[in-house]
Amino acid sequence: MKEPVRRRLLALLAALCVCVGSSGLSARAAQTPDVQGTEQGTDAETDGEKAPEETGSLTEQGTGAQPKETDQSSGNDSDDTAGDTSAEKPNTDVKVTPSNANALLLMDAGAQSPRAVPGRTVEVVLTLAVNREWLPSEKYVLRNITITPDIPTDSTKDTWPFDVVGASYVRHLDDMTYNSTAEVWYEFSVSEFAKEGVYPVNFTVNATVWREDSVNGTDITEDVEFKLNVFMTVTDNGDMSGVTSGIGPLNVAGRENTAIASPTGSPGETVVMSMPIVNKGGTLENVTVSPVVTGDLETFPFVAQDINYGREMGRMEKGDRQQIDWIFTISPYATTGNKVVTFRATYEENGVYGECTFTGYIYVKNGYTANTAASLMVSGYGLYVNDVPVTTLEAGNDAVLKVTLKNNAEKNAVYKAVSTLKLSDANSLILTGGYSDAAYVQSISAGSTAEVEYHITARASAAVGPSAATIALTYETHENEGAVAGSASSSIQIPVKQPMNLQLDTPVVYGSAVQGEPVAVSLNMVNLGRSRAYNVSVVAMDGVSMQDAYFGGDILAAGTLNADFQVIPNKSGEFAGTLVVQYEDADGELYTQNVALSMTAAGADDGALAASGDSVQEQEETSSSWSLWLLLALAVLLLLATAWYFLRYRRGRTQAEKTQENAENDVEGESSEEETSEESGDADR
């Protein structure tokens, strides 16, 4: 097909499409208004959330119905019964929201909190009224009402002040409606275990709230539980409460603006001591008061004539006052001055036993003046081991401690003297088995001495050093006025030391010994004792000597020392020298131990010959070694020469080969030149 014909056909098809499209659009435009009106009317019936303006316009245009409110309430713009509610189903889905308040309240009738003391009965009244928040009208009723006190099961006496005597404390009330009131009575017995204070008494109320639903005609019930509480005041502590006074409840009573005079008397006289007592605590039962009788005339300056001076006072209420009188005879040995007499009172307060003390005073005049006791003292002591005096006691040994007592008085003798030894460190010193720590002396005249003995033992593990001991003395002096007791005490020191035990091994000689020449020696030492060996030194004697003495320092207990030093034999042949080991203990006592040193020393000439022989042998060994070195050097030179010869021979051969090769190359070159010249001549020809 040719190009002009093709273009004409395309133009015809385009015109045909335009005509068909324009006719379709015209038909669609004619039908569009009815469709839009129908859709808008349907939207007005089904959509209740359209804007007011849009909904009204669509309703008026599509259906001509009532305004927007009527359409939303009925859901159908052409239904005349849209406002009739009788056609709806009953509403049974009712939710009750409980109130936070109690359904019953305690009325504020001006009633006071109940008060009682332990052992009494108290009435607790609950005046109740209906809470209108729960029962707002007559159609609401509170039924099945029960009230129960909350009785705790633990720590009852601290939280529940009443005795639990009833089998049940539940109270039931009739139905209560709008504006109803009621009273509930309880009688409780306050326990003797109750303590003074204010206690909350809690009650639990269970009930059922009934309502009538006036809209749906149904009944609604709801169970409620809530708490009510009142307060109970206990005005005193019960007899079994266990509460006691912080301080002693019994004290010496005073008088207003008037002091109570203390009795006064001389030794041998009889006095009356009156003690007015007041109770400042709680109620006390079984009160007993008695003076504290002692053997010290400064605290009880009386003659004890009765077995018991106690006075029974029975029951004392708080604030009660009683006066008790005692008749005493002042001791003939009571000294002049004020004496403090202590009284002890025992009682029961609220079921708890207690006691307290208080004091009174008496003044003794023209009192007894005691004679001065004799001056008895320790003048000296000594240690004896097997009847031999020693200055220190060695650990593990028994000793006799002899103590000298001296009466320094000029006139008075000492009688019934008892000397007691007290050892301060039982880990070091103890009494020897079968012996006592006390010694007795019948009498010591004025200016005289007496000796007592104690048997003691130093433990094997005793610490080194002095161990303290005390000697206590008691005695009496006889005078016309009577005996006077005296006492004294002295301290002594008992030195204790551990035995030294230094073990010396057999000395070892290193090398050959020669007379006059030093040789090395080693000596091992082990300290088997329990104390340190101080300043250990070694010297030589009996045919051996040392240039300087060896000093090794200290060797601890269970320690060792390996001493290395040199000795010089002073003679030849076999002989035994001596090494002297010296050391000290903690007290500076010097100890010496000898150990034999076996020596075999050559003489001085033998030593020289041996030295010359050694030198010849050394020279021979030196010459042989030089010969060996010379042979090694010659072998090395021979190897070097052989290597040089082979290298030189190979280098000459290589040069000859190169010379022959160069000659052959030269011959070949000349022949090639001739051939070239011949070829060029032929070409010229």
Place of tokens 């009815």: 34
pLDDT attached to residue 32:
41
**Cβ pair 550, 563 in contact under 8 A:** yes
551 against 34, higher pLDDT = 551
**Cβ pair 217, 91 in contact under 8 A:** no
Q: With 70 as the cut, is the pLDDT of residue 26 above it? A: no
Q: Which two tokens stand for residue 478?
A: 């006889």
User: In three state form, how does the secondary structure of 368-430 look?
Assistant: CCCCCCCCEEEEEEEEEECCEEECCEECCCEEEEEEEEEECCCCCCEEEEEEEEEECCCCCEE
pLDDT attached to residue 216:
52
pLDDT for 192-230, tens place per residue? 777 778 888 889 999 888 877 665 555 667 888 888 888
pLDDT attached to residue 404:
94
CA of residue 298 relative to chain centroid, distance: 48
**Gap between the Cα atoms of 90 and 88, Å rounded:** 7
**Gap between the Cα atoms of 209 and 206, Å rounded:** 10
pLDDT attached to residue 563:
92
Q: With 70 as the cut, is the pLDDT of residue 679 above it? A: no
pLDDT for 531-577, tens place per residue? 889 999 999 988 899 988 899 999 998 899 999 999 999 988 889 99
**DSSP code of 30?**
H
* Helix, strand, coil tally for the chain in percent (to 5): 20, 45, 35
Question: What's the pTM value of the predicted model, to 2 decimals?
Answer: 0.36
Q: Which two tokens stand for residue 467?
A: 């161990």
pLDDT for 124-172, tens place per residue? 888 888 887 777 777 788 888 999 898 887 656 677 888 777 778 888 9
41 against 110, higher pLDDT = 110
**DSSP code of 82?**
T
pLDDT attached to residue 450:
93
**Gap between the Cα atoms of 545 and 565, Å rounded:** 11
**191 three-state secondary structure:** coil
The whole-chain average pLDDT of the chain stands at 77
The DSSP element (H or E) to which 337 belongs, if any, is strand 337-349
561 against 102, higher pLDDT = 561
**Which residues lie below 8 Å from residue 312, measured CB to CB, with a gap of 6+?**
286, 287, 288
Phi-psi map region of 231: left, alpha, beta (phi>0 left; psi -120 to 50 alpha): beta
Out of 248-252, 540-544, 636-640, least confident range: 248-252
pLDDT attached to residue 2:
46
DSSP string, 288-303: EEEE---S-TTT--B-
| Confidence at 525, pLDDT banded by 50, 70, 90 | very high
pLDDT for 161-175, tens place per residue? 887 777 788 889 888
**Cβ pair 277, 287 in contact under 8 A:** no
DSSP string, 218-261: EEEEEEEEEEEEEEEEE-S--TTS----SS-SEEE--BTTBPPP
